[in-house]
Chain A
Amino acid sequence: MSRWNPAGGTLCTPRGPAPDQPGPTAGPRRPTPPAARVRGLRKAYRRNVALDAVDLDVPAGSVLGLLGPNGSGKTTMLRLLLGLSRPTSGTVELLGQPMPGGAGQALPHVGALVEGPGFVPFLSGRDNLARCAAAEPLLCAGTVPVAVHAALHRVGLDPAAADRLYRGYSLGMKQRLGLAAVLLAPRRLVVLDEPTNGLDPSGTRDVRRLIAELHAAGSTVLLSSHLLTEVEETCTHVAVLATGSLVTTGEMTELLEADGPALEIHTSAPHAALTALRAARIPGYAERGLVIADLNDTPPEVVLSALVHADVPVAEARRRRMGLEDLFVRLTEEGA
């Protein structure tokens, strides 16, 4: 018995239920538990505290971007989540399993690329991937070559490149091979540490596409990055670390509109615009040649209609969002 694997190979029927997935006879539907949950997490290396008092939920089905300056504890956090390292104190749950004890249950459903790709230099990319596939519990005997082929294709490594020795790979090819290893089996959670490291623009676009595909297929994606535009474009949720503490976490849109929703209006007649807004009882003010209309109680359509009916020439109007960069700088440099 096997079921079709979107990654290409056929899968072994798992013995026993996958962790955290209620069987068909389970009772009333509960809210989906988070893909990963961290409570009171602390990791200290001798005197050096890498993480302290971190509480974080990675909602199931989300794409969560873990942001932070260099040395803020992003990789330490991912290593603790994956059971590669033991917390000094606090608890870690991955797909409902306590880590690192439940690694055997949780990790078959998790694909991870942490601290850069790691492969054997004297084997070809394909042989390296076959070696990784041989260790994958969910891949049946005989399906390994198919899974390897499909994963190579998915990350855009052509057969000629796949048959070259890993020793001769460029940074971008190594990164692609690392991503291929993540995609060998279907995953409920994918953890990517700086996935676009060393990739050219087309590689970066491929990674963005892969993340979107995984997200669409229902996988949870947790990625760490310091490329803010990358995170802003791909993630639904954000968590920001600074010097070992979690400074904020939440949905991207909520965080970026933390100052309250507002409409930026470009107009050649700001005075007329402000008068019109006041007449319509919409709070607004002028700022750097723009007119800002508060959207807390008013939908944008009403604002625009009020302006147009007052014959105010509106050249451009758009929702004001704080850039992720502004948010990041404000959160990580506050009080520093």
Chain B
Amino acid sequence: MTAAARPAAPLGRLVRVELRVELRRPRTLIMLVVLALLPVVIGLGVTTRGPSGAMGGAATGLIAAVTQNGLMLPVAALGVALALLLPLGVSIAAADALAGEAAHGTLRGLLLAPVSRPRLVGIKAFGVLVVAVLEVSVVTVSGLLAGLVIVGGGGQLLTLSGSSVGLGEALTRVVMAACWAVPQVAAVGAVALAVSALTDHPLVVMATVLGGAIVFGVLHAIPSLEWLHPVLLTSGWTSLADVLRDPLPTDELTHSTLLAVCYLTVGLAVAVIGTLRREA
């Protein structure tokens, strides 16, 4: 006897509704606006104050290099955003995806409709991925516009290696930076989604992700723990500057991308298991 076909709502309809809710959520929109303003602020800062302003993190060198070099702004902005805003934005989305739904009591409604639990995680993971892509795109596009309009630089990109490349090559490098950033942000999102599947409190998700980022930063700063650095997601983020070198070194970019894929896989696996075992 074949298993009776189980009735289920069409997947396309569920995904469409999920994205509509995601993109109408006020905090998502505010986060996108903040991310769009970030490159503008950096551009204004660089042009009015010069490169001497102190900025923390790995992006300092990049920001200094932005002066008179507008096409570098999108990459520098990605570096700055990656330090806090992008992980924050994606973990807000992941926190709302499962823990937030549970806190509002809406997760129960979806499970009672019923939407099967593996399907639910799939839809939610897709929603978080869309947010990650949107956030990276907003920073990149806004960075590109701000770079060309505010900073200028005459359609040339002066690489960190000292050579200069044309507009076409420069745009390729910017797109490459964005494509590298998406899996990094998505990896943070997957870890956040895993925590989200294990708790009913969205704040726990935020605290875990931001706390985790801080702990990783501390571990990265301890020289005796150097053996640990290759498995720290955030340690790979310094490789973003590599897209601005000539010729392009690919070792670290590849390693950090593979690392992100590992975090992504583990995060999704935990999210699925957590949702299957969840008491809704």
Do A and B belong to a common assembly? Answer: yes
Report if A118-B113 is in contact (Cβ < 8 Å); known contacts: A15-B5, A137-B7. no
User: In the complex, which residues 208-262 of chain B have their Cβ closer than 8 Å to any Cβ of chain A?
Assistant: none
Tell me if A138 counts as interface (CB < 8 A to partner B): yes
Q: Which of A108-116, A257-265, A303-311, A321-329 faces chain B?
A: A108-116
The CA-CA distance from A138 to B105 in the complex, in Å, is 22
Contact with A along B1-30 (1 / 0, CB 8 A): 000111111100110110001001110000
Name the CB-closest residue of A to B96: A120
Contacts of A84 in B (CB 8 A): 108, 111-112, 279-280
Other than A12-B7, A118-B105, give 15 A-B pairs with Cβ distance below 8 A.
A15-B5, A16-B5, A84-B111, A84-B112, A84-B280, A104-B8, A115-B108, A118-B107, A119-B106, A122-B26, A123-B21, A135-B9, A135-B113, A135-B115, A137-B9
**B114 with A17: CB separation less than 8 A:** no
Complex Cα spacing A114 to B112, Å: 10
Nearest CB of A to B239, in Å: 38
Given contacts A12-B7, A134-B14, A134-B17, A119 and B108 within 8 Å (CB-CB)? no
**How far, in whole Å, are A112 and B12 apart by their CA atoms in the complex?**
24
Name the residue in A112, A131, A135 with the highest tally of chain B Cβ atoms < 10 Å from its Cβ.
A135
Q: Is B116 an interface residue (CB 8 A)?
A: yes
| Cβ-defined contact, B106 with A118, below 8 A | yes
A86 at the interface (CB under 8 A from B): yes
18 contacts between A and B (CB under 8 A): A12-B7, A19-B4, A85-B280, A86-B279, A103-B111, A104-B8, A118-B106, A119-B109, A120-B104, A122-B25, A122-B26, A123-B21, A123-B24, A134-B14, A135-B14, A135-B17, A137-B114, A141-B10
Q: How large is the interface on B (under 10, 10 to 19, 20 to 34, 35 or more residues)?
A: 20 to 34
Q: Does A24 contact B (CB under 8 A)?
A: no
For residue B110, CB closer than 8 A to chain A, the reply is: yes
CA distance A104 to B113 in the complex (A): 9
Number of interface residues of A (CB under 8 A): 40
List, in ascending order, chain A residues with CB within 8 A of B106's CB.
118-120
* Total cross-chain contacts (CB, 8 A): 95
Chain A residue numbers with a CB within 8 Å of B10 are 141
How many angstroms from the CA of A117 to the CA of B112 in the assembled complex?
Answer: 13
Centre residue among A104, A117, A122, A134 by max chain B CB count within 10 A: A134
Could you tell me which A residues sit within 8 Å of B by CB distance? 12, 14-17, 19, 79, 82-86, 103-105, 107-108, 110, 112, 114-123, 130-132, 134-139, 141, 181
Closest to B112 in A: A112
Chain B's nearest CB lies how many Å from the CB of A264?
46
Separation of A130 and B16 alpha carbons in the complex (Å): 12
Residues of B near A12 (CB, < 8 A) are 7
Q: How far is the CA of A130 from the CA of B24 in the complex (A)?
A: 14
Q: Which residues of B contact A17 (CB under 8 A)?
A: 4
Q: Kindly state the separation between the CA atoms of A108 and B115 in the bound complex, as whole angstroms.
A: 10
Q: Which residue of A lies closest to B4 (CB)?
A: A16
In the complex, residue of chain B having the shortest beta-carbon distance to the beta carbon of A117: B105
Cα distance A105–B116 in the bound complex, in angstroms: 11
Q: Which 8 A-B pairs rank lowest in CB-CB distance, beginning with the nearest?
A: A118-B105, A135-B113, A137-B7, A16-B4, A107-B114, A15-B5, A104-B6, A134-B17
Which B residues are within 8 Å of any A CB, using their own CB?
4-10, 13-14, 16-17, 21, 24-26, 104-116, 279-280
Residues of B within 8 A of A131 (CB): 17, 21
* Docked CA distance A253–B9 (Å): 41
Contact (Cβ within 8 A) A136 B21: no
Least Cβ–Cβ distance between B155 and chain A, in angstroms: 43
CB-defined contacts of A107 to chain B, threshold 8 Å: 112-114
Q: Which of B26, B109, B115 contacts A181 (CB 8 A)?
A: B109
Neighbouring A residues of B5 by C-beta, 8 Å: 15-16
Q: Which of B13, B25, B104, B105 contacts A134 (CB 8 A)?
A: B13
> What is the CA–CA distance of A104 and B6 in the complex, to the nearest angstrom?
6
* Residues in chain B near residue A139, CB distance under 8 A: 9
| B104 pairs with A118, CB closer than 8 A | yes
Shortest CB distance B210–A (Å): 24
B105: A residues at CB distance < 8 A: 115-119
* Distance in Å: Cβ of B171 to nearest Cβ of chain A: 37
Shortest Cβ distance from residue A87 to the other chain B in the assembled complex, whole angstroms: 11
A138: nearest chain-B partner, CB-CB: B7
List chain B residues, Cβ under 8 A from A85: 279-280
- A5 vs chain B, min Cβ distance (A): 14
Interface centre among B6, B104, B279 (most CB of A within 10 A): B6
Q: Is the CB of B9 within 8 A of A136?
A: yes
Residues from chain A with a CB closer than 8 A to the CB of B4 are 16-17, 19, 105
B8, B16, B113, most chain A CB atoms within 10 A: B113
- Is the pair A119, B104 in contact by a Cβ cutoff of 8 Å? yes
Of the listed residues A105, A108, A115, A120, the one surrounded by the most CB atoms of chain B closer than 10 A to its CB is A120
Q: A119 CA to B105 CA in the complex, in Å?
A: 7
Shortest distance in angstroms between A112's beta carbon and chain B's nearest beta carbon?
5
A104: chain B residues within 8 A (beta carbon)? 6-8, 114, 116
